[in-house]
Chains A and B, each alone.
Chain A
Amino acid sequence: MAPSSPDRQEIHRWMVRLADGDRAAFPPLFEALWPLLRSFSRRLLSQHHDAEDVAQQALLNVFRRAGEFDPQRDALSWIFGITAYECKTVMRRRYRRREEPATPTMDLKRQLQAPDDTEQELIRQELLGAAKEVLGSLSPQDVETLEAAFGNCQRPMVSAAAFRKRLERALKRLRLAWRLKIDSP
Chain B
Amino acid sequence: MTPPKELEALAGRARRAYELGRLRSQLHWATLALAPLALGLHFSGKTAAMFGTCILLSLLILALRWRGQQYAQGVLPGLTAGLLALSVPVLACSSGLCPARPSPLLLTLCVGGGVMAGAVVTLRALSTQCCSVPFLLAAASVAAVTASLTCAVAGVSGILGMILGLAVASSPVLVLARVS
Contact = CB atoms under 8 A, between A and B. Distances in A.
Interface string A14-53: 0000101110001100100010001000000000000010
Contacts of A67: 18, 21-22, 24-26
A52 to B, nearest CB: 8
Interface string B41-73: 000000000000000000000000011110110
Interface stretch (A55-63, A102-110, A128-136): A55-63
Nearest to A38: B2
A73 interface: no
Contacts of A27: 11
Interface residues of B, number: 21
A66 B7 contact: no
A65 interface: yes
Contacts, number: 53
Interface residues of A, number: 20
Interface of B: 2, 7, 10-11, 13-15, 17-18, 20-22, 24-26, 66-69, 71-72
Interface of A: 18, 20-22, 26-27, 30, 34, 38, 52, 56, 59-61, 63-68
19 contacts: A20-B69, A20-B72, A21-B66, A21-B67, A21-B68, A21-B69, A21-B72, A30-B14, A56-B10, A60-B13, A60-B17, A61-B17, A63-B14, A63-B17, A66-B22, A67-B21, A67-B24, A67-B26, A68-B21
Closest 9 CB pairs of A and B: A21-B68, A64-B21, A67-B22, A63-B18, A67-B25, A64-B17, A63-B14, A60-B17, A63-B17
